[in-house]
């Protein structure tokens, strides 16, 4: 049996054998030692660290994602839905059942009008490459949805995804008030973080960028639901284990009157400008219109180029003139200054001056032109208001004490927030020494007051503020801050001290502006509307001579802005209004009739 029998001595053989035995035992001992170490290691992993590792496994497997909530609706005061989230259907790539060549072909055939085989195929490839469930087609219609569902078996690898899209009332009058939604960026995060408790920007794709959508983001946004699922390592297989539904955002009801708002916008026709109405019952805002405007729906899915085009449009449709536009109030500010002059005894109802169409400022030896050639003749305060005499108010304004004037402006909300939920809105600048120093490096001097006193020069107000000033006059100096959805209920009053008789006389003068044949607003033909008000024209350019004026008129964009502020009914005021028609020239003839029709619509509703 053994071929190679060597002739070693038994002793040597024993020696080799015992070395072998010894070494084998050593290796066996090593084996047992390592086996014991391994046992210890498994004991450590499975019994000592078992719970911890098990938790890690659960973290591996169990994942969740948020379900985007349905955003709250925005309603008009009369319950018309102005903004709501509507369900839309999209088609996404299903990672669990990858689309086959055949199903891509069927898909491309069904939606041949929207896409083609190659583009679907490349989307599928991208999607699978990055293991994302990409959307192939978004916002498919009911009919397309039905087609998809019918062919379901041939479309393995594609699935329907439900989502919400913000849908707005398409009328352009609502855009500026409602605002718009956009993708969240850093400035939004900075804006909302201090305002919303526990704000988690990671949860939100889109947020309100302007208007009510932004102001009431917290109320409207709702709360996410959660979808719990188990997933595999590659993330292409999911088993849903639990689901918590989202809670829909709160509804916001605005003070905006649906039909009056639309009518107001239509009345502006092709003019640029703004209309703001305040309900004096609670200082809510039933009408806030800025023209021109766009439909709020138009900003969804707009391309950058289209957006740039809108931004560069010289008529500035994205600019909310009602809350942001600063206009010189012109003569429309005169009634407010009348109360100031009476309160500080700069004049009385009886004082009369002779208005020859000029005001001579002796101190500086300057002569100011008034709008009416030849002037208004002998003029008292009432006539100065009814016929809008500039020399009368210029004559008063040189008497104004700077500190008291600034107090009046301050108490009329110049330089401060006008409205909590108008976003964005511009403050009308508070004209005082520090303002002038900041802008012109000098303090206010007497000459400034001549222009300020007739609502020109540095004086600038927003349409919202002008409407509020009309409201202040109608409610005899008492007011609250206007609002669109929620009032802060704080009461304010202007810093004038005049008696009931003065308010009655002022009211009468403003009635006469509209109803007396020499009133600047007589052409309004206000009829039984019981409208009181004051017209104004705001100079776009500074003109020193009448010849120049005619030249300027040639250019439409340099024509004066037409302004009318007023309230109705004059015996028991309910609404105040401000109408500004850019380059409309005549407050009485152009802005006044618009104010009349808007107020009529509102008062007829009551």
CA distances from 488 to 420, 474, 475, 491 (A): 8, 21, 18, 9
Q: Which is nearer to another protein, 51 or 441 (CB)?
A: 51
* Residue closer to another protein, measured from CB, 41 or 417: 41
Please state, in angstroms and rounded to a whole number, the distance separating the CA atoms of residues 152 and 156: 7
532 DSSP assignment: E
Q: Which of 536, 518, 514 is nearest to 586 (CA)?
A: 536
* Smallest gap from residue 128 Cβ to another protein (A): 16
Calpha distance 465→510 (Å, rounded): 19
Please tell me the distance from the alpha carbon of residue 384 to that of residue 388, in angstroms, as a whole number.
5
Comparing CA positions, the residue from 329, 324, 312, 306 lying closest to residue 176 is 324
Q: Are 454 and 330 in contact (CB under 8 A)?
A: yes
Compare residues 35 and 541 and give the one whose CB is closer to another protein.
35
Contact between residue 281 and residue 589 where contact means Cβ atoms under 8 Å apart:
no
Smallest separation (angstroms) from another protein to the CB of 83: 42
Name residue 289's beta-bridge partners: 275
Least Cβ distance, residue 3 to another protein (angstroms) = 6
Q: Are 210 and 423 in contact (CB under 8 A)?
A: yes
105 forms bridges with which residues in the sheet? none
Min CB(134)–another protein separation in Å = 22
Residue closer to another protein by CB (options 18, 247) is: 18
Which lies closer to another protein via its Cβ, residue 59 or residue 303? Answer: 59
Which of 230, 259 has the CB closer to another protein? 230
| Nearest-approach distance from CB 15 to another protein, in angstroms | 9
Residue 588 to residues 110, 321, 446, 526, Cα–Cα distance (Å) = 61, 20, 30, 11
Extended beta strands in 374-455, E state = 377-379
Smallest CA-to-CA distance from 207 within 188, 224, 222 is with: 188
Q: Which is nearer to another protein, 24 or 112 (CB)?
A: 24
Q: Which residues pair with 243 in a beta bridge?
A: 227
CB of 41 to another protein, least distance (A): 5
Please give the distance of CA 218 from its chain centroid, rounded to a whole number. Answer: 14
Closest distance to another protein from the beta carbon of 7 (Å): 8
Residue 143 tokens read as 């009919």
Rounded to the nearest 10°, the torsion over CA 316, 268, 568, 419 is: -20
User: Which residues lie near another protein (CB under 8 A)?
Assistant: 1-6, 8, 10, 13, 16-17, 19-21, 23-24, 27-28, 31-32, 34-35, 37-39, 41-43, 45-47, 49-54, 56-57, 60-61, 230-234, 237
From the list 345, 358, 421, the residue with the least C-alpha distance to 179 is: 421
Where in 209-307 does DSSP place strands (E)? 225-231, 238-244, 252-253, 273-279, 284-291
Nearer to another protein, 20 or 354 (CB): 20
In sequence order, the 6+-apart residues with CB closer than 8 A to the CB of 71 are 84, 85, 164, 166, 220, 221, 222, 248, 249
Residues β-bridged to residue 88: 163
Q: Closer to another protein at the Cβ: 2 or 129?
A: 2
Name which of 8 and 311 has its Cβ closer to another protein. Answer: 8
Tell me how far, at minimum, the Cβ of 230 lies from another protein, in Å: 7
Q: Least CB distance from residue 103 to another protein, whole Å?
A: 24
How far apart are CB 239 and another protein at their closest, in Å? 9
Both ends of the chain: CA-CA distance in Å?
Answer: 125
Strands 74-75 and 252-253: parallel
Using CA atoms of 506, 511, 514, 519 in order, give the dihedral in degrees to the nearest 10.
-50
Cβ distance to another protein smaller for residue 23 or 417 = 23
Of residues 55 and 313, the one with the C-beta less far from another protein: 55
Q: How far apart are CA 261 and CA 274, in angstroms?
A: 11
Shortest separation between residue 167's beta carbon and another protein, angstroms: 40
Shortest CA distance to 58 belongs to which of 68, 50, 70? 50
HEC profile for 165-222?
EEEECCCHHHHHHHCCEEECCHHHHHHHCCCCCCCCHHHCCEEECCHHHHHCHHHHHC
Q: What is the nearest approach in angstroms of another protein to the Cβ of residue 283? A: 59
Which residue, 61 or 326, is less far from another protein as judged by CB?
A: 61
Least distance to another protein, CB of residue 240, Å = 14
Q: Is 347 left (phi over 0), alpha (psi -120 to 50) or beta?
A: beta
CB of 237 vs another protein, minimal distance in Å: 8
Nearer to another protein, 65 or 605 (CB): 65
């Amino acid at each position: 049996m053994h071929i190679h029998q060597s002739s070693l001595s038994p002793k040597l053989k024993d020696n080799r054998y015992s070395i072998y035995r010894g070494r084998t035992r050593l290796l066996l001992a090593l084996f047992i030692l390592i086996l014991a170490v391994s046992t210890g290691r498994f004991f450590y992993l499975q019994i000592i660290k078992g719970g911890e590792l098990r938790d890690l496994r659960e973290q591996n497997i169990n994942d969740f994602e948020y379900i985007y909530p349905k955003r709250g609706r925005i309603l008009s005061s009369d319950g018309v839905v102005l903004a709501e989230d509507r369900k839309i259907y999209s088609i996404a790539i299903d990672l669990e059942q990858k689309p086959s060549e055949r199903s891509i072909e069927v898909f491309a055939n069904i939606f041949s009008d929207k896409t083609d085989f190659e583009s679907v195929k490349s989307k599928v490839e991208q999607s699978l490459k990055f293991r994302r469930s990409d959307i192939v087609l978004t916002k498919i219609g009911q009919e397309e949805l039905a087609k998809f569902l019918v062919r379901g078996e041939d479309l393995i690898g594609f699935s329907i995804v439900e989502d919400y899209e913000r849908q707005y009332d398409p009328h352009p009058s609502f855009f500026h008030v409602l605002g718009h939604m956009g993708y969240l960026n850093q400035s939004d995060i900075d804006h909302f973080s201090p305002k919303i408790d526990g704000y988690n920007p990671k949860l939100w794709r889109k947020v309100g960028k302007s208007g009510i959508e932004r102001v009431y983001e917290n109320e409207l946004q709702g709360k996410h639901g959660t979808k719990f699922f188990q997933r595999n390592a590659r993330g292409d297989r999911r088993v849903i284990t639990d689901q918590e539904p989202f809670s829909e955002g709160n509804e916001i009801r605005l003070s905006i009157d649906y039909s009056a708002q639309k009518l107001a916008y239509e009345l502006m026709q092709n003019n640029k400008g703004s209309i703001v109405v305040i309900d004096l019952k609670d200082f809510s805002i039933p009408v806030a219109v800025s023209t021109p405007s766009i439909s709020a729906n138009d900003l969804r899915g707009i391309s950058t180029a289209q957006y740039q085009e809108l931004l560069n449009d010289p008529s500035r449709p994205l600019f909310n003139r009602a809350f942001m536009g600063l206009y010189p109030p012109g003569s429309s500010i005169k009634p407010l200054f009348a109360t100031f002059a009476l309160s500080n005894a700069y004049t009385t109802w009886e004082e009369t001056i002779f208005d020859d169409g000029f005001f001579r400022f002796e101190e500086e030896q300057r002569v100011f032109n008034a709008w009416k050639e030849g002037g208004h003749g002998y003029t008292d305060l009432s006539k100065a208001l009814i016929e809008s005499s500039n020399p009368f108010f210029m004559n008063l304004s040189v008497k104004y004490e700077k500190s008291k004037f600034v107090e009046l402006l301050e108490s009329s909300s110049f330089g401060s927030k006008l409205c909590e939920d108008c976003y964005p809105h511009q403050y009308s600048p508070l004209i005082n020494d520090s303002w002038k120093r900041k802008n012109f490096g000098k303090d206010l001097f007497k000459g400034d007051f001549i222009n300020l006193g007739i609502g020109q020069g540095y004086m600038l107000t927003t349409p919202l503020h002008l409407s509020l000033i009309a409201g202040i006059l109608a409610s005899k100096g008492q007011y609250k801050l206007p609002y669109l959805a929620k009032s802060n209920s704080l009461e304010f009053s202007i810093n004038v001290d005049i008696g009931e008789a003065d308010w009655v006389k002022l009211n009468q003068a403003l009635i006469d502006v509209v109803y007396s044949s020499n009133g600047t607003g007589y052409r309004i033909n206000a009829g039984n509307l019981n409208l009181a008000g004051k017209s104004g024209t705001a100079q776009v350019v500074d003109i020193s001579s009448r010849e120049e004026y005619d030249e300027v008129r040639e250019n439409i964009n340099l024509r004066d802005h037409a302004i009318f502020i007023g309230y109705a009914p004059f015996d028991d005021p309910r609404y105040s209004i401000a109408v500004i028609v850019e380059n409309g020239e005549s407050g009485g003839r152009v802005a006044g009739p618009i104010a009349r029709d808007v107020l009529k619509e509102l008062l007829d509703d009551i």
